[in-house]
Amino acid sequence: MPLPPLAELLATARVVALPLRTRFRGIDVREAMLLRGPEGWTEFSPFAEYDDVESSAWLSAAIDFGWRAMPVPLRDRIPVNATVPAVDADAVAGVLERFAGCRTAKVKVAESDCTLPDDVARVAAARRVLGPEGRIRVDANANWNLDEAEHAIHALSAYDLEYVEQPCASVDDLAELRRRTKYMGIPIAADESVRRAEDPLAVAEAGAADLLVIKAQPLGGIRRAQEIIGAAGLPVVVSSALDTSVGLAMGAYLAASISDLEYDCGLGTAELLAADVTRDPLSVRDGAIDVRRVDVDEALLDEHAASPERTQWWLARLKRVYGHL
């Protein structure tokens, strides 16, 4: 599809700064740019530290979702996991209450200001809340080295983990960790090794992961993500990048296009936001979210508009990143 003119993107671009309920990924406010294409609202929201080249995939995804019709969904609801930030153990129950009906929790671990005992206590608290039938997965965001990861998996294994997400940064370390811990039967999932890699298929080709975490925006959109899923030949979890409900809709359409969706998806993160861009957000209900486009509320765009300085920063970023396409 030909690129829409830059002027067409700039004409509808709106930048918002949405507060989070709990600090997450080191931020308290999530900034995002919303664009309106012929198919509806779409989102361009690479994190601030991402360079223009890496951000170009996010813009491709935004254009794909806003300017092209989506594949016919195979389902109209997507089961999702709850997401537990790196909070104190006594705050876990309160976080999980916001994710109505979720049977799965993804617990953040390996944060720089937390110790392994902190992580163990947080996972133990999630297990108490969910009970023996609940599913618990942990996400280290590549913050452990190989030996730390092996030690941590041993410490956390008592809580019946569904999988460990991106325990180490490199594909080689993931492969070695998978070899060392295979006897424990805890799968290794790759996230950053897919979405931030020059070759998103390298981790699968190296036998370094049992499943892949797939995010539509960082991978260039729904169609590009579908190609990666097909080529990898591994089970996948479709997840979000702390998107607004507009970005979550993109992820929901991706998840709805996958015929064999084995795992609950990480698309329930609207519950982490203290504000959104729509009066009808993609909130978790009975452990799932709807597959639908989102109607953006202009009043909410005004209420949560980023500062003029940050808006100009995003507009300049859009122009630069567009040049890479």
| Backbone CA torsion sign across 274, 275, 280, 282 | negative
Residue 196 buriedness (CB in 10 A; 0-12 / 13-18 / 19+): middle
User: Quick check: is 182 catalytic?
Assistant: no
- Spatial contact of 281 and 250, defined as CB atoms under 8 Å apart: no
- List the end-to-end C-alpha distance of the chain, in Å, as a whole number: 12
Structural tokens at position 139: 């996400």
Q: Is 165 annotated as a binding residue?
A: yes
Q: Is 191 annotated as a binding residue?
A: yes
Residues 9 and 322: their CA atoms lie apart, in Å, by: 10
Classify the phi-psi angles of 166: left when phi > 0, otherwise alpha if psi is within -120 to 50, otherwise beta.
Answer: left
Of residues 106, 182, 215, 319, which has the active-site annotation? 215
Read out DSSP for 228-252? Answer: HHHHH-S-EEEE-SS--HHHHHHHH
Q: Is 205 annotated as a binding residue?
A: no
The H or E element spanning position 24 is strand 14-24
Q: Which residues are annotated as a binding site?
A: 139, 165, 191
Q: Which residues are annotated as a binding site for Mg(2+)?
A: 139, 165, 191
Q: Which residues are catalytic?
A: 108, 215
